[in-house]
């Protein structure tokens, strides 16, 4: 028996306040929302020219708390873009981990809330420092 299309298709990874804005799959989200992006997925920060796309995300091996966690996020503003690279292990000291999770670009802070294999949960705040 073949599974139905609805049983195998998955909705886009969104927070409750984020909404899909185009047929191409770009997601619109607000400052302070926690947005989960899958590799290749794009998002736009509402009210700004900031666009995000997740290039890669690698979580630790199962059961390994000392293994590296990493992600690369492309942030675009108009014709300019920056790649933000996150790399850390889950057992880092809390104050070190907080600093490693926070990257700045175009006047905003991009905080990696969670990284697992194939996805990144990100929160954007004003300031970027």
Residue pLDDT, tens place only, 32-85: 999 999 999 999 999 999 999 999 999 887 878 788 899 999 999 999 999 999
**pLDDT one-digit tens code per residue, 92-116:** 889 999 999 999 999 999 999 999 9
Domain locations along the chain: 12-126
- Asked if pLDDT for residue 24 goes beyond 70, the answer is no
Decide if 72 contacts 50 (C-beta within 8 A).
Answer: no
CATH numeric code, 12-126: 2.60.98
Q: Compute the C-alpha angle 32/37/41, nearest 5°.
A: 125
**β-strands 50-58, 42-45 pairing:** antiparallel
- Asked if pLDDT for residue 12 goes beyond 70, the answer is no
Give the whole-angstrom CA distance, residue 115 versus residue 95. Answer: 18
pLDDT band at 1 (very low <50, low <70, confident <90, very high): very low
Read off the pTM. 0.79
């Amino acid at each position: 028996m073949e599974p139905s299309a609805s049983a195998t298709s998955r909705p886009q990874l969104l927070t409750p306040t984020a909404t899909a804005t185009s047929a191409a799959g770009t997601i619109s989200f607000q400052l302070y929302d926690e947005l989960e992006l899958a590799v290749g997925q794009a998002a736009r920060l509402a009210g700004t020219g900031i666009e995000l796309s997740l290039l890669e995300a690698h979580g630790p091996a199962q059961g390994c708390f000392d293994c590296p966690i990493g992600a690369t996020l492309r942030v675009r503003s108009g014709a300019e873009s920056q790649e933000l690279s996150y790399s850390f292990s889950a057992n880092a000291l809390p104050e070190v981990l907080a600093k490693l999770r926070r990257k700045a670009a175009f006047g905003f802070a991009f905080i990696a809330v969670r990284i697992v294999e194939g996805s990144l949960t990100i929160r954007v705040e004003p300031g970027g420092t």
